[in-house]
Structure 1
Amino acid sequence: VVEMVEALESTDAGFAGTVPELARALGGCSTPGCRAVLGEPPRVPPAPPTLTRGQWLLFTQLLRHDAAAPERGAVLAPDGSTVTLGPLFAGVEVGLKRAAGWPTPTSEPPVDPLYAVTVAEALGTSFLLARGADGNRTTLGPGGCWDDVDNPQNYTLLGPPSPIPDAVANGAMDGVLLGAQLAREPIPLADLLRGYYGTGNGTEMGRPPSSYRRRDFGALTGAGKLEEEVAAMLRVLRVLPPTQELLEDVGPEEVVAIACQAAREFTEVYVECPAIVPRCMWGARPYRGTPKPLTLPLGSVYIHHTFIPSVPCRTFPACARAMRAMQRFHQDTRRWDDIGYSFVVGSDGYLYQGRGWHWVGAHTKGYNSKGYGVGYVGDFSATLPDPDTIALVRDGLLPCAVRTGRLHHNYTLHGHRQLGHTDCPGNSLFQEIETWRGFE
């Protein structure tokens, strides 16, 4: 995608507008709200001479909006996250227009165009459609899986679709962040995308800015801003002919209630909880036999280090390799049914699903059904994980598990060494977790 953007930005691309305007011409932001904010899409130009026929075909396919299949148009980013391009380019277009002195379009009530075209319309519409559906309609998610992470062709959702699958949420958050960045400091789009998503080789610390999207979106958006923008967008949709009917029996108080619920749930799922890479994305083998279900909420968490691999993994490919190696060792050498940990912590900004929230693990002998086993990739006998990697569990996973009813609010936290003959999780990491909430 970055190569195509670079080719389109070159002077002989044969298209007068910006790349995001081309994306909108192809259908990347064609909803009623998007048209109200950014105007009618430009006409689709002929194929640009700087793209091959195959590249142009791919670009048009990625941006063709299909309300019935919102996951289409998704791409796999180097950090292992999946991103839908429509809301990303819409946010970038607003940022470029603002940098060029664009007079903000007037609407009643006023909306922030950056949020309107990326997240507010989709979020408001999703929760509006779920109203009166007796909880039978999915409002957020799900995640999905690529057929081959080395050569991704087909992306399949892991459950019933909503208007905001995870890939759309990622694209929307990235659109807000990159749009805001461009409004302050316009740079060529290919350079911006390369800097934000990385190249797959890892930056100095291994983590591209995209792996911080949840934290950065939360910091930029702040409490109340998302709710305010969803409510404003619903009021705009009320007067637009294509969406009037959807809102004709929704009173002002209900608009506020829908916006409040939508913003709260989006924030809980995509800002306050950390992203967890599903088994299919790291290439897990199947569980051997039948998993035993856990009885939730659990009362404990057990912290481990993997020891082997001894080096922290700092990129998605390295962490996925580490997961496969540990699962092979646990299944083939230890003769366990599966990888032992409930979750594994990479130093790439992501948690990796082992046995997950619902299956009994094989991490802390005698205690596997009582708590979650969380393993940090690396040997932390003499060194600590990065501060961000520590925070991923302490400030992310654990509060999220309590909020979502998977962990008791008065849970206890232990290092593996307290419950068995082992040095795990290493002296340095053990001293660190002694300061965490719930440690006993």
Structure 2
Amino acid sequence: MFPWLLLALSVCTRPGTAVSPTVPPRHMDSVLDILDALESPARGGSLGTAAALWRELGVCSTPGCRAVLGETPGTPERPPALTLGQWQLLTELLRHDPVTPELGVVLAPDGSTLALGPLLAGIEAGLRSGGFGRPLPTLDPPVDPLLAVTIAEALGTSFLLAGGGDNNATALGPGGCWDDAENPQNYTLRGPPSPVPDPVAIGAMDGVVLGARLARGPLPVVELIQGYYGTGNGSEAGRPPSSYRRRDFGALAGQGRLEKEVAAVLGLLRTLSPTPEFLRDVGAQEVAAVAHRAAREFSERYVECPTIMPRCLWGAQPYRGTPALLRPPLASVFLHHTLEPSQPCRTFGACARAMRDMQSFHQDTRGWDDIGYSFVVGSDGYLYEGRGWHWVGAHTKGYNTQGFGIGIVGDFTATLPDPDTLALVRDELLPCAVRSGHIWPNFTLRGHRQLRHTDCPGNALFQEIQSWPGFQGTPVALGLG
């Protein structure tokens, strides 16, 4: 089985066992504490010490990664700088063990869940490309080391295995849920896993972005990661750079380059002895077709479409009634502003709190079964799942079965959301909803006020959306129920 899959299937305790209270939570802040201890000269550590240790623990255990970064240095022992709990967490996150495939992912302060293995492999490739540590080998056929150790090998392998398996085999996804976003210990995928579930894709994208930064010049890994994700469960005031991962990854490894590198790394794997089983009897034409399909589908899912934070991550209460099923594709999208909260949320922590507050208001004060919106848009770069793609919402009375209700957090009577938030809806969410078959290509976009006596979505935002594709300017059925 492909090792990234084993690193990221889920994170949960074995039946009949308890998590030791000395083991830190599976949060990036815990990883930063560990790396800080390993890098600290005062404790006898260094950046090289940290990189060697995570390699020994199994960060680079696939054939392609070993060809690029070299064989594992040796058998690790616990450094004196780490507590027993920190050592247990690190070994669980990084050590490849087919018997316990529930290991390998952490929750970042921006709310994203990522596999630590491809992130650290990308960081090492970037460091060595930038002249820190041993030079990278010259390979034939040539491959980009950074893409090879993060995503290209995993992607090519996944699509080859899915293509050669049964009709239900998938090559990408799924995502999953944590037991507790404040104290994450257990992570469970929400469907049958592929070799590239969402956390592996996210960890690989971040490995490319941070590895490319290190290739321009080394700096402490703790400083790099902390500056990228932020700290403290997303409690800071500003949007972290990690929320731009899709844009930044796309700029570094667009679909054309990714396709080229997937084909190159599969070519590299064919030269190894023994050749991996899944590549036997696979010709050059099939490799090219797999690389094309893998790059296209990866880009559509992880670069061109926005991240949707699932209900389980923002702490949703259960639906109180029996949800009614939507029948997509739908013809309409209805845009709202939340009004309360009146200020945009710019971090995962703030947006998750806003979602819980709105759900409580909709359920407890208005008596609805659930939060009314289909999706809510934060100014942290993410969408938040409300009723979602499949269930009738309570956002636009009289029209809830005809379209999706999208709410943007804030009061946009006099001011607009920031340009990135507007682009998230206009340029990412709406085209993605068309491609995925949730709305018709000739959908109509309306502001809430066009269907009800209300100021929603605010004068400033309503003026803005009149220039968007799909906007239908004629008010319809004002004053209905």
TM-score by length of 1: 0.96
| Residue 312 (structure 2) pairs with residue 284 (structure 1) | no
| Residue 96 (structure 2) pairs with residue 65 (structure 1) | yes
Aligned position for 2:78? 47
The separation in 2 between residues aligned to 1:431 and 1:131, in whole angstroms, is 48
Q: Quick one: which of 139, 144, 160 aligns to 1:128?
A: 160
The separation in 2 between residues aligned to 1:68 and 1:365, in whole angstroms, is 52
- How far apart are residue 107 of structure 1 and its match? 2.2
- How far apart are residue 42 of structure 1 and its match? 1.1
The separation in 2 between residues aligned to 1:189 and 1:301, in whole angstroms, is 43
- How far apart are residue 224 of structure 1 and its match? 0.7
| Residue 60 (structure 2) pairs with residue 29 (structure 1) | yes
| Residue 465 (structure 2) pairs with residue 418 (structure 1) | no
Aligned position for 1:166? 198
The separation in 1 between residues aligned to 2:226 and 2:237, in whole angstroms, is 16
Show CA shifts across 1:387-412 (max 9, x none). 11111111110000011111111111
Aligned position for 1:321? 353
The separation in 1 between residues aligned to 2:63 and 2:347, in whole angstroms, is 39
Show CA shifts across 1:202-221 (max 9, x none). 69861111111011101111
What residue identity is the alignment partner of 1:44?
Answer: T
Q: Quick one: which of 330, 337, 346 aligns to 2:362?
A: 330
Aligned position for 1:2? 32
The separation in 2 between residues aligned to 1:352 and 1:82, in whole angstroms, is 15
| Residue 333 (structure 2) pairs with residue 301 (structure 1) | yes
Aligned position for 2:268? 236
Other structure's SS at 2:445 match: strand
The separation in 2 between residues aligned to 1:376 and 1:243, in whole angstroms, is 51
The answer to which of 288-297 and 266-275 deviates more is 288-297
Other structure's SS at 2:146 match: helix
Q: Quick one: which of 392, 397, 412 aligns to 1:365?
A: 397
User: Gaps spanning 5+ residues in structure 1: where?
Assistant: none
The answer to which of 195-204 and 227-236 deviates more is 195-204
Aligned position for 2:18? none
Other structure's SS at 1:149 match: coil
User: Gaps spanning 5+ residues in structure 2: where?
Assistant: 1-30, 473-481
Aligned position for 2:14? none
- How far apart are residue 132 of structure 1 and its match? 2.9
| Residue 466 (structure 2) pairs with residue 434 (structure 1) | yes
Aligned position for 1:393? 425
The separation in 1 between residues aligned to 2:302 and 2:346, in whole angstroms, is 22
The separation in 2 between residues aligned to 1:94 and 1:247, in whole angstroms, is 25
The separation in 1 between residues aligned to 2:169 and 2:127, in whole angstroms, is 36
The separation in 2 between residues aligned to 1:193 and 1:380, in whole angstroms, is 34
The separation in 2 between residues aligned to 1:8 and 1:66, in whole angstroms, is 23
Q: Quick one: which of 230, 234, 256 aligns to 1:198?
A: 230
Identity %: 71
The separation in 2 between residues aligned to 1:205 and 1:434, in whole angstroms, is 31
The separation in 1 between residues aligned to 2:102 and 2:201, in whole angstroms, is 10
- How far apart are residue 15 of structure 1 and its match? 7.2
Aligned position for 1:342? 374
Aligned position for 2:475? none
TM-score by length of 2: 0.88
Other structure's SS at 1:219 match: helix
Q: Contact 1:70 / 1:164 at 8 angstroms: preserved in 2? A: no
State how many pairs are aligned. Answer: 440
Other structure's SS at 2:177 match: strand
Other structure's SS at 1:314 match: coil
